[in-house]
Amino acid sequence: MSLNNNIKQQITESMQTQQLVLDEVGEYIECAAQQIVNALLADKKILSCGNAASVSNVQYFTSIMINRYERVRPSLPAISLVNDVQMITSIANTQHYDDVFSKQLRALGQAEDVLLIFSVEGSALNLVKLINAAHEKQITVILLLGENETTLPTLLHEADVCVSVPSQSAQRIHEAHLLIIHCLCDLVDSQLFGNQLV
């Protein structure tokens, strides 16, 4: 296969996955955006986390919420649970790595906040513990994952939202998660600040 064919294959697979996202999970993206909007209107905040490569999506989402998406607008309250390396290594060293997110959530989270979780590589125990901690604090959970993830969705409550990308490829799932971030931020901005870009 030529290098150009490799490029075409990567782009074609990405486009096909994004079309499946549009066809199969659009309504769940809308539900997730509404949960975020409801929390923000109630003066609550959005916490987010993920493991490995998902960390970049977490940081990107948080930066958009606090800074801006496509318009100048007030900062929106968002906290990333992946940014503080000292915190994470301290908890991992003195407690256990499985507690690195749940311990932060118990300190920072409040009832009616929203927790946004990115997961690509399968059910990590630190995410299982995090979801359980969120439910203990009456925090709504939004899961962004791929179809290879089967454990985390079983932990969700009725008010939670699961947005599952119809793919088993980690690369395609990451790409789709980035697109979903853009959809969420656009929906949040348009509902809170109207459709006109500034």
Task: Let me know if residue 143 belongs to a domain.
Answer: yes
Per DSSP, the three-state class of 72 is: coil
Q: Cβ atoms within 10 A of the Cβ of 46, count?
A: 24
pLDDT in tens, the chain (198 residues): 689 999 999 999 999 999 999 999 999 999 999 999 999 999 999 999 999 999 999 999 999 999 999 999 999 999 999 999 999 999 999 988 999 999 999 999 999 999 999 999 777 999 999 999 999 999 999 999 999 888 999 999 999 999 999 999 999 999 999 999 999 999 999 999 987 665
Q: Which structural domain range is residue 101 located in?
A: 3-193
Whether 21 and 165 have beta carbons less than 8 Å apart is answered as yes
- Report if residue 198 sits inside a domain: no
How many CB atoms within 10 Å of residue 1? 7
Structure tokens at 25: 């999970």
- From residue 70, alpha-carbon distances to 64, 91, 129, 196 in Å are 9, 36, 35, 10
How many structural domains comprise the chain? 1
Residue 189 lies inside a defined structural domain of this protein? yes
The pTM of this model reads: 0.94
User: Tell me, what CATH number does 188's domain have?
Assistant: 3.40.50.10490
**Is 118 in contact with 48 (CB distance < 8 Å)?**
yes
Distance of CA 66 to the CA centre of its chain: 15
